[in-house]
Chains A and B, each alone.
Chain A
Amino acid sequence: MTRYLELVCPAGNPAALRVAVDAGADSVYCGFRDCTNARNYPGLNFDRHELRAGITYAHARGCRVFVAVNTFPRAGKIESWHRAIDDAAACGADAVIVADLGLLDYAMRQHPKLRRHLSVQAAAASALSIRFYMEKFEVSRVVLPRVLAVHEVSNLIGQTGVEAEVFGFGSLGTMVEGRCFLSSYMTGRSPSSDGVCAPAECVSYREEAGGLLSCLGEVMINCFGSDEPAAYPTPCKGRFLVRGHPRYIFEEPTGLNVIPLLSALKASGVTALKIEGRQRGRNYVATVVTAFRGILDALAEGREPTGTPDVLRTVAEGQRETFGAYAKGWR
């Protein structure tokens, strides 16, 4: 059967990797258990031995493995990031996912045959930007930011000929990724250097007369009435006072779901569809990968999906969905 879109799935740990592979992932992505990857949460990720075993498991079942080394190395501590690239290559990874300019340069020089995918953390959202990374660092694939409309995705691919991977499901940041410091402004820890946004140890909830408060560090991110589901206090999904009125100034607490747009994305020339969520559990991975495998296989046979399976709604962030920027009017 012709592949409709390559299904790229999150593997937060070795068990999730096996679940994703068994559920029909074409590729999985994962990271080392340290601050070299952008999902550096407790209990997640891989040591070198686990990565090697995971790659063996995936390759035996025709599934590729990408290793995310997609944080920005700290000054004077760059060796840890270099080692992550070296070890990914030594373990037999099919590609590394990288955002930092210096690290792309290192990977290109040291491991010219290892495919380099440009991480969404580099936020290459224009033809100019994509060409820059293709020409200077010979990246094979670009993971497009979650801020583009479908017709813009199409234009970018047409103008650059880039192999494009887009986000299809999961959390949705509203800021240009890799250059958002809201989390570190409030907690001292950031996605760029620490690989964490709104780390759990900085999160607290408190019942008060007005409702359930959610805080990040010392900052009140939201207050939920008894009729509202409580969302995780990510700064860009918070409710704040603007000109005296409470509102979600950046974005509502919603998750991205592009199922109704899949054929348009395919027609745009997109190569791969990425499922977000290395920080989510095995149940999420099994549910989402199985659902998307079924939908993509149906599309490959010429059948349009009839809608979003109910099971996906139960795992979406805030139990709500959005097309995000893919639909016009988001900006």
Chain B
Amino acid sequence: MSKLTLGPVQFHWSAAQRRDFYARMADESPISCAYLGEVVCSKRLPWFENDLTLTAERLQRAGKQVVFSTPALIATDREVSMIASICQGTELIEVNDFACISLLDGKEFVSGPLVNVFNEGTLDALIGMGAVRINTPIELSASAIATLASKSSVEIEVFAFGRQPLAISQRCYHARASDLHKDNCQFVCGEDVDGMVVAQLNGRPILTINGTQTLSYGHVTLLRELTELQASGVTHFRLSPHALDMVEIATVYRAVLDGTFDAEEGLAKLRESAAPIPFINGYLHGRAGMEWLTNPAA
């Protein structure tokens, strides 16, 4: 039976908000694994890194696996030494920049959703370097995921709920939107716990900005697709944290995986939790990522 994972918090949440969030996820949610750490901007890490050990212990006591996530870009020397020290620990590491693999000294790792594993050649190369679980890129269709899963000797994870990370940059758009420079950003990204909405000139929302990261506006919601993905060999489904009732969302996903809820009931529940943000699932069906296909089989 496939497992649920809790992705790293993508946004700049305060240390207190993180502590409350993980305490509740540890005690009440049916997730099997939690990814901790900062994946977007290394400047945020000092705000909560002192809590990481305690948070990890708390989750482990609740029976959850803990993986430490690393940034999508490791650029400066300061970042290299910071990530190198995280990699020295005993926890499993999630790699979101291939270069991170050289800091692992041959240790096993999880390949994260922010690196490109589009095909079996890359999959095999990563397994050869020590990957024990591989996240598929958000852009992949169900058939591409099935192809990879069928050729994989390791676990396969799919991003199944939340705003999809679409791009990463060296430039900070949160700072730019506030006419600030990245080096003196005043952490304005912390003002938007679920990201800053970017709308088209006609007023319709289209994207979300999270510092150097750009995400979808809608939440990818793969409830109808869970059974088929599970059957094709996907072992883990990732729920990405938002300022929503994540316990409720995890409970719905678990119930649909277990067959105690059907997907339609699950979607109705999620609509209450996530409204008014729309659902999307286009990539999984080989379409534009922002689309929501209500009857994909038709």
Contacts and interface: CB of A to CB of B under 8 A. Distances in A.
Given A126-B99, A241-B203, A249-B198, A175 B167 contact: yes
Interface in A162-197: 174-176, 178-182, 184-188, 190, 192-193
Contacts of A243: 177, 196
B169 A220 contact: no
A221 B97 CA distance: 30
Contacts of B177: 242-243, 247, 249
A179 B164 CA distance: 13
Given A102-B122, A179-B167, A193 B200 contact: no
Interface string B160-184: 0000101111111101110001110
A236 B80 CA distance: 28
Contact of B168 (A72, A103, A179, A220): A179
A76 B170 CA distance: 33
Interface stretch (B20-28, B61-69, B285-293): B285-293
Interface size bracket, B side:
35 or more
A131 interface: yes
A331 B173 contact: no
A188 B282 CA distance: 8
Nearest to B288: A188
Contacts of A114: none
A165 B272 CA distance: 52
A241 B98 contact: no
A222 interface: yes
B288 A187 contact: yes
Interface string A194-210: 00000000000000000
Contact of A331 (B144, B182, B216): B182
A184 B196 contact: no
Contacts of A250: 169, 171, 173, 214
A81 to B, nearest CB: 8
Contacts of B102: 128, 131-132, 135
Given A179-B114, A185-B290, A186-B288, A242 B209 contact: yes
Given A184-B283, A222-B201, A174 B124 contact: no
A128 B118 contact: no
Interface string A97-108: 001111101100
A176 B73 contact: yes
B99 A175 contact: no
Interface string B94-120: 000111111100000000001110111
A182 B283 CA distance: 12
Contact of B80 (A72, A128, A186): A128
Given A101-B98, A220-B202, A176 B119 contact: no
Contact of A74 (B97, B126, B144): B144
B231 interface: no
A188 B73 CA distance: 25
Contacts of A193: 118, 139
Contacts of A298: none
B74 interface: yes
Contacts of B256: none
B75 A100 contact: no
A76 B118 contact: no
Contacts of A180: 166-167
A125 B121 contact: no
A248 to B, nearest CB: 9
Interface string A234-273: 0010011111001101110000000000000000000000
A135 B203 CA distance: 49
B207 interface: yes
B121 A103 contact: yes
Contact of B139 (A175, A192, A331): A192
B75 A125 contact: yes
A101 to B, nearest CB: 4
Contacts of A72: 116, 118-119, 122
B116 A240 contact: no
Given A101-B125, A102-B125, A179 B99 contact: no
Nearest to A248: B176
Nearest to A148: B170
Interface in A70-119: 72-78, 99-103, 105-106
Contact of A219 (B80, B196, B206): B206
Given A78-B121, A129-B99, A249-B173, 6 more contacts: A76-B120, A78-B120, A105-B121, A175-B167, A179-B168, A193-B118
Interface of A: 72-78, 99-103, 105-106, 124-129, 131-132, 135-136, 147-148, 174-176, 178-182, 184-188, 190, 192-193, 217, 219-223, 236, 239-243, 246-247, 249-251, 325, 329-331
22 contacts: A75-B120, A75-B144, A77-B119, A100-B116, A101-B116, A102-B124, A105-B124, A128-B74, A174-B169, A178-B116, A181-B139, A181-B289, A184-B139, A184-B288, A184-B289, A185-B216, A185-B282, A223-B201, A240-B198, A246-B201, A331-B170, A331-B182
